[in-house]
Amino acid sequence: MESSAKEDAQPKPRLIVRLGRLLASHHILFSALCCSAGIIALLFLPALAKNTYLSENALIPGSANPLFSTEDVAEANKFIKGIEAAAGESRDGMGMPKFIVQQMKELGAEVCYHEFLPHSKHFHPLKFFTSMTNDLAIHPNGTYTNSGTNTIGIIRAPRGDGKEAIVLVTPYNSQRVKENELLSLALGFSVFSLLSRAEWLSKDIVWLSADSQFGEYTAVSAWLSQYHNPTFVAGVTNGPDGIAEKAETTDFKRAGTMAAALIFKVGETRNYGDRDSVTMYAEASNGQMPNLDLLNVVHYLAVHRQGFRVNIERISSLVTSAWLRVIAEVIQTVGSLLRKINPDWKLDIAAPDYVEGTANLASSIYNQALGVPTGSHGAFRDYQVDAVSLEFSPTFHLRNENAKSSFLVRGGRLIEGVVRSVNNLLEKFHQSFFLYLLTAPSKFISVGVYMIPFALLVVPLPIVAAALADGGKTEGKSMNDHNMKGSADILQVDGGAWKWLQSARVLLVIQIWAVIVSLLPYYISQIADGTPIQSAVIWVVLSIIVLIILYAMLGSPYSAGVEWKLLKATMITSISIGLGLMSIINFATAQLGSLIVIPMCLFSRPVKARLGMNFLPRTVLLASNIFLAIFGFPPVILLVMKGLSKGTWTVDIGDFWVSMEFLWEWSSATYLYIFLVHLPCWLLCIHVLVHPCRQAGSKVKWE
Amino acid sequence: MAAAAVGFRLVLVLFGGDLHLSSRPEVSTPLTSLRRLAEGYWLKQASMSPYSGSMYHGSPLLLSVLGPLTSKRSGGHHAHIYCSLVFVAVDFIAAMLIRLTGRTLQIARGKSLKSLDLAKSVNDPVNASAGDTASLIYLWNPWTIITCVGSCTSPIENLMVVVMIYGACSRLAPLAAFGYVMATHLSLYPAILILPVTLLLGYGPDTPPAKVFLQKGSSASKVDISDIGKSTSQRGFGQISWKPVLHFMLWVFIWSCYVLVLNSIILNKAGGLQEMFEKTYGFILTVKDLSPNIGVLWYFFAEVFDFFRSFFLIVFNMNIIFMVLPLAIRLRHRPCFLAFVYTAIVGMLKSYPSAGDSALYLGLLGLFANELAEMQFTFFLFFGYIGVSLLSPVMHNLWIWRGTGNANFYFATGLAYTCLQTVLVVETVSSMIKHDRKLRLLIRT
Amino acid sequence: MAPARRLLALSLLLLLLAAAAPAPSAAAEEFTEELLLRPLPDRKALAHFHFRSSTPAPARHHHLFPKAISHLVQKFHISELELSFTQGRWNYETWGGHDPLSTNTKPPGVELWAVFDLPSSEIDATWKNLTHALSGLFCASVNFLESSTAFSAPRWGFKSNEGNLRYGALPREAVCTENLTPWLKLLPCRDKAGIASLLYRPSIYKGYYHSQKLKLTTSKTGGIVLDQSLTVVLQPNTASGKQLHSADGKPQPSWSLEHLFNRKLSGKCLVSRSSRIFVEIEKGILAESGPEASWSNEFFELSTAPDRVLNELDHLDVQSSSLYEYDLGNYNDDEPLDVGITWKLPLIWSCSPAPYYARRFLMGSGNERGSIALSFLSTDLHKQLGGSSNDCSIKAVVLQVFPWYVKVFYHSLQIFIDGSSKAISEVLEMIHVTPSEDKLSPGTLEMLLRFPCGMQSATLILDFDKGFLHIDEYPPDANQGFDIPSALVSFPEFNSSRRYPETDPMFVSPLLENFKEENVVKSYTEVLLVPLTTPDFSMPYNVITFTCTVLALYFGSLLNALRRRIGEEESKLKKAASRPALIPMLIARLRGQKADPSNSESSPVSPIGLKLLLKVAFVAVVAVAFHYLSNS
C-alpha cells in the first residue's frame, strides 16, 4: 500500500485517473487475471531456475592441490581403534571426550570441554522479534542429572592474528555411538590433524565434536550461546565430573569471529554400489539460507574434484506423481513454443528435469515455510554465521577397509578444500545471494524471480479493497446525493470518511482474540500436562470462550451494523499487510499461505447477499465460498497436508497440538503467521459469509 | 479508559522488559535515548563534561533530573524502571492537558457557531467531545505507549509542547512561555511554534475564518447587530489584542534567562553553555549521527557526497521553515490547528524523528475530530500507519540481526512513512480548508 | 609557524653543537650484537636478536650510528620511541609470560609509541610528522597513525608520563621482508657479517611469532641509544612433519643454528664491540635435570662447549635458569659456530606465566550493539611466589583504546569474579576515561584493578553500540569488519627482571642489562574484529533522488493544498461543481471516493480502457507473429 501511496502522488494526472478507475471498475476481472497469472508463474518457477556461479572471487575452490593423504587416513583408522577402545572401557560416557581431548592435545591444539544441559521446551514464538539475546543461554540448576559434554579443539593459525575462525562440527552420540558416527569423528580428526600442520592457515580452526545425545541442534546451539553471550555463574569452572583435568581444559576457549561453519557427518550406508553421495542441508530457522557461495564451493569441490554425487532434499512422492508429469509435458510444450517464437526465451525444460526440479523445489519451499532448521547449521545462522551441513552417505559396507579409506581420502579432501576456500576469504560472505530457492544442487531461483508469482497473487488485494471501500461509501453517499442541494446538511455527508472505523473495530477485536489464542498454549503447556488431545481441546474451548467474552465486552461485529463490503475491504487490507510482512520474514510461508488465503478472501461474500445473478453461478459461488472457508481453517489444512504426505486420513485433534508445539518450540515465525494472520482472516471470512445484509438498516443507523 | 491506559503502561513497564524497546531505532534516537543520558550522567559524576564523547546530546536539566534515577539500578531486567514510572506520569499529565485544551476548543467552537447561528445545522459527527477523543487517542496510541515504555525522553518533550499549547489556549501567558522555552530547549524544533502561540494569545482559540463573520455581517440584516457587534468585539478582524502577547514575550525572556542560568550552573565546571549549544543544537542541525531511524535523512547523509553535505543540510533545514509562513497566513484563524500542522511537519522532517513525535501529532489530531470529519482516505492512512509500524521492525531485524537484508530495506520503510505523513498533512490541511468553505457556503445560503 | 621556526632554530643549534664536538662523540660510538636462543616447552625454539648502537651525542657524521635515526631524534625531539612490527601471536600460556622477553612481546601489526620533550601544544603535530618520517624509513604505512582517530595519549595505563606520550597501533598492518630490509640497513654491517647474517628470510618468516622492534632512548646529555631487536619463534625443521607433534613420550627435537636458520655463524661483525650468543636454559628444565648446570648432562647437551656459564641470581628459590655464553670473536670461517642443543631424554617443563592470563572476546551478535569482555584467569603464580594469605591482593592495570565507531557505554561496566557479580568499587581502584569523539578521536580506558589472590577468574564487561559510518569512511574491504586493537594488561607488582652476574665489567652485555631492568609484567590481549553493517555502496544517486522526490512531493502538494482557494472561488463563480485540487482528486479517483464526477465520467472511460486493451493485445499478436515468421 505504501508503494501505491507513492505512485498516487506522482504528478501524472490523466493516466492515473484512467488506470485507477479502470482497475476499480474491473477489479473482479483484474484480480482473476492476476491470480491465475500468479499460479501459472509459480508453475513456471522450475523452468526459470538459473545455474549457480561463484560470485566471490576470493574463494578459488580447488586451486591448490589437496594435502590430505593416505597417512592422514592411517591416522584416522588409528583414531577409530583408539576411540572404540575408549568408548568400550568407560561407562559414564566420558571416555570418548577424554580420548578426543587427549588426541587433540597431542596435536598441539588448545582444548576444552563444554558442559551443557538439554533445555526444556520453551515457548518463545516472539524470539524472532526480541532479537536473540540471552534467551538461549542455559542456566544450570541441580535438577538435571546428566549433561552433555562438547569437546572443542582450537588450532591457532601460525601467522594469523586470530580475529576470525572457521568451525568444523562433527556430531556424535556419546551414550550410544554408532559406527558411522565413529567414522565421521575419525574424518574430523584426520582433517584437524592435517590442519594443525598446515602453514597456510590465516584463520583459526575450531573443531567442535558435538555431543548429540540430546540432539545435535541442542549441543551446537548451547555451545554457540556460551560462545556469544555467556552466562557467568558460579561453579561453572569445575570440570566434567569423573575427570580432574587441569584448569586449561575446563575454562571456555574462544577464537575470534566465526567466518563460516561446516557440519559434516557420515550417514547410514544406503544403496550399495552407487557413487558415494553428499546431501547438503542449508535451511535455517525461518527460512534463512546461508550465502549461496558457500553451497557453491561445497558443490563444486564435491562434484568436480572429489567425484561425489551431491543431493539436496526432495519430496520423493512428487517424482512419481502423474499429474506433475502432465504439467511437465504442458510446460515443456509451451516452453518449446515460446522458444520457437523467440530463441532468447530459454523456458523449455525437459519433463524429467522439470519433475526433478519441482520435487526439490517443493521440499525447499516446504522446509523454509516450516521455519524449522533442518540441522545444527540453523544454530549458526542465528548468529549470522553461514553454515551448511553435509551428510556423507557411503555406498559401501563400513567394514570394507579400502573402500573406507578411499572414502576418507575424498571426504577429507573435500573438507580441506572448503576450509581452504573460506580461509582465502578476506571479507565475510556477502557477495552472493541470501534469499533464494534451490531446485537442484547447482540450480537456484533468486528472490527477484520467485517474488513475481507472489506479487501477482498479492497485487489484486489493495485494488479490490479500494474498490470495495469505495463501493461501501458510494452507497452511503448515493443516499444523500439527492438532497445535496438542500444545503442544510452539507456538513452531514461526513459519515463516509470514517465509516470504516466500525469494521476496523471488528478487525481489532478479532486481532486481540488472535493474540490471546496464540498465547494460550504457553499457559496450557504450563498447567496441564495432559495428552495432546486434552490440551488441544482445552485450547479450542478456551479460544471460543475468549471470543464470546470479547464480543460481549467490545460488541459483536453486527451490533454496529457494519457493511459487509467494508468488512471485506478491511479484511483484505489486513491480509495484504500480513502477507507482505510474512513475505519479508519468511517468503515461503507467505507464498504457501497466499495460495490458500487469497482465493478465500476474494471469493468470500455473504450468503444472504442479494446479487443480481441467476441461480447457477450463485450456487457455484456459494459452494466455492463454503469450500474455501472449510479448507481455510488451519487444522483442516494440516489434516490435508498430512493426508497428502502419508495418506492417513485419520482425524486427530492431537496432531494439531503436536505440530503447533513443534512450531513454537523452534520459535518459528510460521506459528505467528498462522495465528496472527491466517486465523483472523479466516474468522473474518466466516463473518462475511454469515453477514446479515441489513445495509438499509445500517444506513438508517448512520444517518 | 485513561486509568486502564496507565495500568497497561505500568504492566508493560514491570513485565515487558524483554521486548528491548529501548534499543529500537524507532523509539529512541541519539537525542532521546535514556542509555545515552545515563552515560552522560556517569561522565558528569566522573567530573567530566557530560557532552564529552559525543554520547549525550540532551539538555543538562534532564541530566540533573533523570540522571540520579538512571544511576540506581533495579535488580530486575528492566534497567531504568524509575524513569519509566516518571514517563508514565508525564504521559498521563499530557493527556489530561490535551483534554482540557479540547474542552476550551469545544467551547470556542460552540460559541462561534452560535454566533453564526449554525449551531443546530452543524452537528458533531463525533458524539464524544473532541478533548476526550484526543486524550484517549494520545493515551491508547501504541506509539505513545512504546515511547513511554521504551525508555526515552521524548514524552517529556511532548509534554512541554502540550503545556505550551494548553497555556496558550487558556490564555495563561506564563505557562505558555514556560512550555515554549522548555520545548525549544529540549528539542530545537518547537521554536517555530511561536507563531501559533502568538496567534492563540492574540486572537484566541480556533474560529471559522474572519471572512465568514464578514459575510454573516453582510448577509444577516440589521436583525442582530448586537450579535455582530459581539462577534466583532469578541474577535475584531485583524486587530490583535497585544497585551497577552507582550506578556508572553516578557515571560519567554524571563524563562529563557532562567533556564540558561540553570544550565550554566549545572555545567559550570565542565564545558559551559558554548559546548552545550554545540552539542545539542549543533548536533541537531548538522546531522552528525548516521544511525538509522524512521526518517530518511540518516541514509541520505550516509550516502551523499561530502562536498554537497552542507548544501543539503541547509536545504533540509530550510524545508521545515519554509512552509511556516504560508500555513500561518492561510490558517491564521485556527492557531491550534496550525500548531498541529507544525508539529506534524516537524515530526516528519526533523533530523532524528522517532515514534514519539508521531504520537504527539496524532494525539493532537484528535482535537479536530469534528472539523476533519470528511477527511479523505483515512482508511488508507490508517492501514498505512499500521503497515509501516509493523514493517519497520521487521526490516530492521532483517538488516541488522539476520544480515540477509541490507540498508535499503529499512530505508524503504522510512520513505514510505514519510509519504504517509505527507498525505496526512496535506489531507488535514485541505479538508480543514474545505470545512471552512462549507461554513461559508452555509452562511451564504 | 612560530613552533616551526623555533624547531628549526633548535635543530640548527643542535647541529652546531654536533659540529663543534665531532671527535669525542665519534670516538665513543658503540655497537654490540647478541643472540639469545632458548628452547620452548612446545618443541619450538626462540631466537632473540639484539643489536645496540649508541652515540653519546648527535653529530653530523656518524661512522657507526645510523644517521637517519639521529636526524629523527633531533628533528622531532624524541626522548623515547618504540616501533614494532609483529606477525603472529605470542602464546603466553606455553611460552611464558613472566620473563623479560615475553613481557616485551608486541601485539600483531604495527605498534608505535613515543615520548617527546616538547610543550604539549606541539606534540600532536610532531607526532604526525614523525609517523610520516617512519613510514618513509621503514616502507610501512605507519602514516595511517597520523589521523587523530588513530592515536591516543594514555596517562598512566601504558607508561606513566605527563601528557607527552603518544600511543598508536595498526593491528591490520601486514609485516614482511620489505620492513626488515630497512631495519637491517640501520646496522653497521647490514646482514653481511656477524649475527645478523643468520637472518635468512624464508626461515625467519616461517616462524610462529615474528616481532621486529626498534627502541630509541635519549639520555639527558643528548646521547642516543638505539636498541634493535628481533624475536622469532621457530619450528626446528628436523624430520618429517609427522614428528612435529608427537606423543610426549618422544624427546624434544634437537636443533642447532643450522636447523633454525640454514646458516652457520662465521665470525663477528668487525665493528661490533662485543658479539655473543647465549643459550638460555629455563629453570623449569634445570629443576628437572638437577642442580648442576653443566652444558652436557643426562637430559641434554649443547653441541659446543660454552665459553662461560652464568647462573641467575634469584633470591626466591634455589633453582634458577642459566646462560651458556659463546663469544663469537673466537670463531671464523674455518671453524664456524653452530650452536645447538641435543635432547637425550623426554622432558616436560613449563615457563613461569604471568599472574593472570588476560583474554578478551566479543559478546552478542547482530550489527547494532554488543559487549566487549576482558577475562582474567588466575595462574596461581602468587602461590608459587609464596605469600598466599587470604587478604592479599594483586594489582592489574588495563589499557584499552576504542576506535570511535565502537561507542562504549562506560557506565555499563560490570565485573564478575568467580562467576558472581561484584560491585565495581570492590575491584576498581582507579579509572581514567577519555571518551571517544565521533570521527575525531578514539576513546581510551585506563583502569587500575585490585583482585583478591584467591580469585580464580574475573570478567569485565562493557557494552557498546556499533557506529554507522559515512560511505567514504569504509575501507575497500568494508565487509571484513573493523579492528579493536589489543588491550594491554600489566601487573605492576610483578617485575620481570632476570639478573645474571656480570663477570667482567669490560664486556658489558646490553641484553643482560635489559634483562636486569625492573620491567613490570605486561601482556597483550587478542585483536578483536567487529563486523559493522554497511550501507549499499552502489546507492548514492538512488538515495538522493528518492529522498529529494519525497520531500518535493511534500512541498508541492502542501503548497497546492494551500493555494487551492482561488481555483475554488472561480469554479464556484462558474457554478461548476466544487472540485478539490488536482492531486487529491487524482488520489480520490484512484480510491474512487468522489462519487459525483466519477459517476458521470466512468462510463466513457471504461470503453477507452477496453479499447486500449484491445490495441495492446493486437500489437502483441502482431509481434508474436513477426517473431515466429522471422525465426522460421
A129/B397 touch (CB, cutoff 8 Å), yes or no: yes
Is residue A296 within 8 Å of A290, Cβ to Cβ? no
Is residue A99 over pLDDT 80? yes
- List chains touching A (3+ CB pairs under 8 A): B, C
Cα distances from B121 to residues B118, B138, B227, B370, B371, in angstroms, run: 5, 30, 18, 13, 14
CA distance readout (Å), C432 to B43, B46, C395, C397, C401: 11, 9, 16, 11, 12
% chain C with pLDDT above 90 = 29
Name the A residues in 86-145 with CB < 8 Å from any B CB: 128-133, 135
Tell which B residues from 9 to 48 touch C, by Cβ distance under 8 Å: 23, 35, 38-39, 41-43, 46, 48
The C-alpha atoms of residue C124 and residue C128 are separated, in whole angstroms, by: 6
Of the partner residues C244, C246, C592, the one whose CB lies closest to the CB of residue A21? C592
For residue B220, give every residue at least 6 positions away whose Cβ sits within 8 Å of its Cβ, in sequence order, or none. B227, B228
Whether residues B388 and A130 touch (CB distance < 8 A) is answered with no
pLDDT tens digit sequence for C4-34:
555 545 454 444 444 444 444 445 788 999 9
Q: Give the DSSP H or E segment for C279.
A: strand C274-281
Q: Does A179 touch chain C (CB under 8 A)?
A: no
Q: Are strands A386-393 and A257-266 parallel, antiparallel or unpaired?
A: parallel
Asked if C253 and C243 count as a contact pair (C-beta separation under 8 A), the reply is: yes
Task: Specify whether the CB–CB gap between B183 and B162 falls below 8 A.
Answer: no
Name the residue facing A234 among C248, C420, C627 (closest C-beta): C420
Task: Kindly tell me if the per-residue pLDDT of C386 is higher than 60.
Answer: no
pTM above 0.80, yes or no: yes
Q: Between chains, do C365 and A228 touch, taking CB under 8 Å as contact?
A: yes
Q: pLDDT tier at A535 (50, 70, 90 boundaries)?
A: confident
CA–CA separation, B339 vs B432, rounded Å? 13
Structure confidence at residue A30 as a pLDDT band (50, 70, 90) = confident
Q: What is the pLDDT of residues A213-240, one digit of tens each?
A: 888 888 998 899 889 888 776 544 444 4
Residue in the structure block whose three cell numbers are 647474517 = C197
Minimal Cβ distance to C437: which of B54, B348, B423: B54
- Dist. CA A377–CA A286, nearest whole Å: 13
Which of C361, C461, C524 is the mutation pick for testing A, counting most A CBs within 10 A? C361
The nearest CA of chain C is from the CA of B439 a distance in Å of 14
Q: Where, residue-wise, is CATH 3.40.630.10 in chain A?
A: 57-313+378-444
Task: Assess B75–C contact: CB distance below 8 Å, yes or no.
Answer: no
Most C CBs within 10 A among B20, B28, B45, B55, hence the mutation to make, goes to B55
* C580 pLDDT above the threshold of 60: no
Query: Which residues 490-529 on chain A approach chain C with CB closer than 8 angstroms?
Result: 496
Question: Can you tell me the mean pLDDT for C58-76?
Answer: 86
What are C545-566's pLDDT values in tens digits?
999 999 999 999 998 888 766 5
Using one digit for the tens of pLDDT, what is the confidence trace for A138-155? 444 444 457 788 899 999
Reply yes or no on whether the pLDDT at B76 is more than 50.
no
C276 CA: distance to closest CA in chain A (Å): 29
Which residues 402-461 on chain A approach chain C with CB closer than 8 angstroms? 426-428, 430
For C593, nearest residue in chain A (alpha carbons): A470
Q: What residues of C are in contact with residue B349 (Cβ under 8 Å)?
A: 551, 554
Number of neighbours of residue B444 by Cβ within 10 angstroms:
13
Give the pLDDT score at A699: 39
Residues in chain A: 703
| pLDDT more than 70, % of chain C | 81
Mean predicted confidence (pLDDT) in C412-420: 87
Closest A-chain CA to B17: A130
pLDDT category of residue A200 using cuts at 50, 70 and 90: confident
- Residues B434, C580: C-beta atoms closer than 8 Å: yes
User: Where are the alpha helices (H) located in B352-406, listed in sequence order?
Assistant: 355-365, 378-396
Q: What is the pLDDT of residues A563-578, one digit of tens each?
A: 788 888 888 999 999 9
Mutate to test the interface with C, among B211, B349, B374, B430 (most CBs of C within 10 A): B430
Could you tell me where in chain C the CATH 2.60.40.1170 domains are found? 356-493+523-530
Q: Which residues of C are less than 8 Å from B318 in CB distance?
A: none
Of A131, A235, A343, the CB nearest to C366: A131
CATH number of C356-493+523-530: 2.60.40.1170
Lowest mean pLDDT among A407-411, A416-420, A526-530: A526-530
Q: In the block, which residue shows the cell 494520545?
A: B138
Report pLDDT for C211: 93
Question: Does C469 sit within 8 Å of B290, measured CB to CB?
Answer: yes
For residue B304, the distance in angstroms to the closest alpha carbon of chain C comes to: 6
> Which residues of chain A are within 8 Å of residue C42 when distances are taken between CB atoms?
108
Q: Is A161 in CB contact (< 8 Å) with chain C?
A: yes
DSSP single-letter state for residue A168: E
* Nearest residue of A to residue C250, measured between CA atoms: A106
A245 vs A628, more confident: A628
| pLDDT for A254 beyond 60 | yes
How far is it, in rounded angstroms, from Cα B257 to Cα B245?
18
The answer to whether residues A347 and A335 touch, using CB atoms and an 8 Å cutoff, is: yes
Look at the domain A57-313+378-444 and name its fold: Aminopeptidase (3.40.630)
Which residues from chain A sit within 8 angstroms of residue C575, using beta carbons? none
For all residues of chain B together, what is the average pLDDT? 84
Q: Which residue among C468, C555, C584 places its CB closest to the CB of B430?
A: C584
Q: Which residue of B has its CA nearest to A124?
A: B18
Top residue of A10, A133, A294, A490 to mutate, by most chain B CBs within 10 Å, is A490
Which residues of A fall within a CB distance of 8 Å from C363? 228-230
Closest approach of chain A CAs to the CA of C526, in angstroms? 7
- For B149-183, the pLDDT digits (tens) are 888 899 999 999 999 999 998 888 999 999 999 99
Nearest by CB to B306, from C437, C472, C533: name it.
Answer: C472
Residue written as grid cell 576469504: A425
> Over chain A, what is the mean pLDDT?
80
Residues 6+ apart with CB under 8 A from A326: none
Q: What is the pLDDT of residues A255-278, one digit of tens each?
A: 889 999 999 998 887 666 677 889
pLDDT at A415: 94
Is A580 in contact with B415 (Cβ distance < 8 A)?
no
More confident residue, C47 or C246: C47
CA distance C429 to B395: 45
From chain C, the residues in CB contact with A200 under 8 A are none
Q: What is the pLDDT of residue A311?
A: 87
CB < 8 Å to B398, chain A:
584-585
Rounded-to-integer distance, Cα B210 and Cα B213, Å: 5
A166 touches chain C (CB under 8 A): no
Give A426's pLDDT tier (boundaries 50, 70, 90).
confident
**Interchain CB distance below 8 Å, B388 and A574:** no
Of A128, A288, A497, which is closest to B376 when you measure between CB atoms?
A497
Exposed (0-12), middle (13-18) or buried (19+): which is B243, by Cβ within 10 Å? Answer: exposed
Cβ-Cβ contacts under 8 Å for C265 (sequence gap 6 or more): C195, C197, C198, C257, C277, C328, C331, C336, C337, C338, C339
Q: What is the DSSP string of A515-572?
A: HHHHHHHHHHHHH----HHHHHHHHHHHHHHHHHHHHHHH--TTTTT--HHHHHHHHH
